Structure 1
Amino acid sequence: MQNKTNDLDSVYQRIWEAIVAHKLLPGTRLKEEDLSETFGLSRGFVRKLLLQLSHHKLVHLVPNSGAFVAEPSPEEAREIFQARRLIEAELVRELASKCTAREKQLLQEHVEREHQAFAQGQQSLRIRLSGEFHLLIGKLANKPVLTSFLHEIIPRSSLIIALYQGPGPLKGKARHSGLSCSEHTGLLAAIAAHEVDKAVQLMIDHLNEIEAQLQLEPTHDEDVNLKEIFADL
């Protein structure tokens, strides 16, 4: 067994990051034995880890079947984005009202890392950085309670995006990444300029746009071409 770590919190963080980066997709089975070997944890510790992930709605435990990365329902997806709008509007309002030169610099450095990752085609890193940008706003706003809620629902948002990302001119991850890059830049400018109302509206518009990309309604195509579907199977 590889002794990579025996720190439960560290392993939780690594799984959290894998979910945020869309490396662990909804429905993926998390086998106890694989987690035990990968992280050098006992099976008992792995069970504790899976219970913790389940408590935070990131993993679904199925009796006699195992643990699976959660697959949020469309109703849960809508509620998650509703919660994000409420929480993040207040966080950005607080930060925009008092943003210092140092805080502006921290936000700029982060956005530059996002642009660099996007330009280099590092989509998993880019997606993770996107979530961390929102958490950074919470940290700089100095609202630990609201930020703790956000820390819980950001990974669930990533699961939702991975599960329900609709088709578009760019495919899923790249489309979402490019959108966030440009909108984070505008949001940063409003925060740094202390344009409170504008920053709040930009944040709400940003989250609305991400949600609008999701295909939360069932699609009904009466003209399914079965020959085309099975041509390459």
Structure 2
Amino acid sequence: MSDGATPSKPNRRHDLPRGEAVYRALRRAIIEQALRPGDKLPEDVIGERFGVSRTIVRGVLGRLHAEGLVELKLNRGATVARPSLEEACDIFEVRRSLERDVVRRLVGRVTPRQIALLEAHVAREGEARARGAAESIRLAGEFHILLAELSGNAVIARYINELVSRCSLILALYGRPHSPDCAVNEHLEIVAALRSGDAGKAIAVMEHHLDAVTERALLASARTPQRDIRAILDAYAP
């Protein structure tokens, strides 16, 4: 896996179309906050680093734009999205509502195997603490995506996936640094509440956790200096 400064290059599977490989790499770089809100995403630089045509790059950027991760402006190219503070508040409000429903669906129906999957994921989060912030950020978000997938509702899972990804932008733009211990301990509490089968407790624990995430995310003012995109993409290109 990766560390905070120099993430390991993701393996490029031979059965993946080139566009899919570029999409996954750029999405991961955004979620891990290697690419930050406001960073320019020049088609020629991306194409050069990943060895693909600008047509493929445009398709990837369009896909990321549809997910709210990239902004496309006529004659100005693409940049990593910069959600407004109002939009950020709206995103967290919708996320809280959907994740409450996820917990309601899981309580009383979560299986021992699913609990084991959640515990294994949180254990990976704990191990990632020593390797740096980038991996911890990604795994923390993937915990919530896993919960949504286990709920059995594919539509909710898709929306949670998008919302969690957009929350990583908000954390990069407005958030303050915080210990990854926070996420790990809060996720352990969620798993314990689900195991208990107490719906009220499980929902309360999830709401407390998301309130804490929201508080950490919406504090600082947004300032994004220009950075070397070529050097950042080198760590994600195959």
TM-score (norm 1): 0.84
**Which stretch of structure 1 is more off in the superposition, 105-114 or 50-59?**
50-59
Name the amino acid aligned to 1:14: A
Q: Residue 144 of structure 1: which of 145, 154, 163 is its match?
A: 154
Q: Which has the higher contact order (CA 8 A, sep 6+)?
A: 2
Indicate whether 1:207 and 2:218 are aligned: no
The ranges of structure 1 where at least 4 consecutive aligned residues each deviate by more than 3 angstroms after the TM superposition are 214-219
CA distance in 2, matches of 1:62, 1:27: 12
Distance 1:218 1:21, change over 3 A: closer
CA distance in 1, matches of 2:97, 2:119: 24
CA distance in 1, matches of 2:217, 2:65: 24
Q: Tell me which residue corresponds to 1:32.
A: 43
Q: Residue 130 of structure 1: which of 114, 135, 140 is its match?
A: 140
C-alpha distance after superposition, 1:63-104 (max 9, x if no partner): 222110000000000000001111011111211221111001
Task: Give the 3-state SS of the residue equivalent to 2:24 in structure 1.
Answer: helix
Task: Using the TM superposition, give the Cα deviation of residue 195 of structure 1 relative to its aligned residue in structure 2, in angstroms.
Answer: 1.9
Q: Is the CA contact 1:176–1:210 (under 8 Å) kept in the aligned structure 2?
A: no
Indicate whether 1:193 and 2:203 are aligned: no
CA distance in 2, matches of 1:214, 1:106: 27
CA distance in 1, matches of 2:203, 2:92: 15
C-alpha distance after superposition, 1:161-216 (max 9, x if no partner): 110013xxxxx1xx152211110010111112212211111111111111112345
Task: Give the 3-state SS of the residue equivalent to 1:23 in structure 2.
Answer: coil
Task: Using the TM superposition, give the Cα deviation of residue 217 of structure 1 relative to its aligned residue in structure 2, in angstroms.
Answer: 7.9
Percent identity over the alignment is 37
Q: Tell me which residue corresponds to 1:231.
A: none
Give the alignment of 1:1-233 within 5 angstroms. Answer: 6-118=17-129, 120-166=130-176, 172=177, 175=178, 177-215=180-218
CA distance in 2, matches of 1:176, 1:52: 32
Q: Is the CA contact 2:174–2:221 (under 8 Å) kept in the aligned structure 1?
A: no
| Structure 1 residue ranges without an equivalent (≥5) | 167-171, 220-233
Aligned residues: 208
Q: Is the CA contact 2:175–2:220 (under 8 Å) kept in the aligned structure 1?
A: no
Q: Is the CA contact 1:33–1:43 (under 8 Å) kept in the aligned structure 2?
A: yes
| Structure 2 residue ranges without an equivalent (≥5) | 1-11, 223-238
Task: Give the 3-state SS of the residue equivalent to 1:26 in structure 2.
Answer: coil
Structure number, greater radius of gyration: 1
Name the amino acid aligned to 2:116: Q
Task: Using the TM superposition, give the Cα deviation of residue 60 of structure 1 relative to its aligned residue in structure 2, in angstroms.
Answer: 0.8
Name the amino acid aligned to 1:46: V
CA distance in 2, matches of 1:78, 1:45: 33
TM-score (norm 2): 0.82
